[in-house]
Structure 1
């Protein structure tokens, strides 16, 4: 990926995740972990959807994660390099 224009750290444009696979990945990722409220997940995903770093509708270009998975986890933070797009206090909703 050397010399490639700005994009996702971990994938190429040909990478797509089906809604079914995404749901399964979320189930696996949250097992045994603390999660945020559904309202907080929605808030985080709204922030991600308005971010220029969202690639392919699912992937964060700054960390390569699937944002729908990362948004579920209490310990997660927004990896945006200049400023977090997730309000840290909103996780207490």
Structure 2
């Protein structure tokens, strides 16, 4: 897979991504509840801009991280989907 910000090809396991997300979320205090998080991930999973099953094609974020933050929205160009 290629990173959104560069042309390097990288291989990252799902376990590595989950570990990184969990580590970063420990630094956050403004998180959505599990119900909202699940709804956001469901929307992201159906988005045609989802890359590699975990990366937003518009901002380059891991959707599992962005969806958990209450102060973030969906960066879809025509308007947030959540």
Tell me what 1:38 maps to. Answer: 34
- In the TM superposition, residue 14 of structure 1 has moved relative to its aligned partner by 4.2
User: Structure 1 residue 28 and structure 2 residue 23: aligned?
Assistant: yes
Which structure has the bigger radius of gyration? 1
Q: Provide the TM-score with structure 1 as the length reference.
A: 0.73
The TM-score with structure 2 as length reference comes to 0.81
The answer for unaligned runs of 5 or more in structure 1 is: 1-6, 87-93
What's the CA shift for 1:76?
1.1
Conservation of the 8 A alpha-carbon contact between 1:8 and 1:59: no
Q: Which runs of 5+ in 2 are unaligned?
A: none
**Number of corresponding residues:** 80
Q: CA RMSD in A?
A: 2.2
